[in-house]
Amino acid sequence: MEKSNEEIIEEMQLVVNQMVVDDLEENPDLAQEYFDCGCCGKSKSLAGSIQYGNYRLCNDCVLLAETGFALGKFTDIQDLIDAMEDKRLEELCKFIKDEEARKKQLEN
Ligand SMILES: [Zn+2]
């Protein structure tokens, strides 16, 4: 059976959150170490970040990247980097944020 976009996003959120947990378990010092994300440009924790080719992405952007790959929105990390620049992926980002907001509401 085909997974819905919502199911894919939920799965990716779990996987990507787990990366932070795993990184911190392996090296708790990572929580204090920051870098400039190659995608969103913000100063972010190294925990849960991933190196894609020439770019190191923060955990938030890893979620965007992995979700985008899983949904077939793009196939190359360069596409995400370019899209972040001209905001072509705003819709996808909004979709994920909406999904997060919906989940929070369910938790409350
Ligand atoms: Zn980022």
How does pLDDT run across 46-65, given as a tens digit for each residue?
999 999 999 999 999 999 99
**Ligand 1 centroid distance, CA of 15 (Å):** 17
Judging by beta carbons within 10 Å of its beta carbon (0-12, 13-18, 19+), is residue 11 exposed, middle or buried? Answer: middle
Residue 71 lies in a domain: yes
* Domain assignment of residue 29, given as a range: 5-95
Tell me what pLDDT residue 23 has.
Answer: 97
Residue 102 lies in a domain: no
**Ligand 1 centroid distance, CA of 35 (Å):** 10
Tell me what pLDDT residue 101 has.
Answer: 86
Residue 77 lies in a domain: yes
Tell me what pLDDT residue 97 has.
Answer: 81
Residue 72 lies in a domain: yes
Distance of CA 106 to the CA centre of its chain: 21
Q: Encode pLDDT of 29-51 as tens digits.
A: 999 999 999 998 889 999 999 99
**Ligand 1 centroid distance, CA of 18 (Å):** 17
Residue with tokens 């990572």: 30
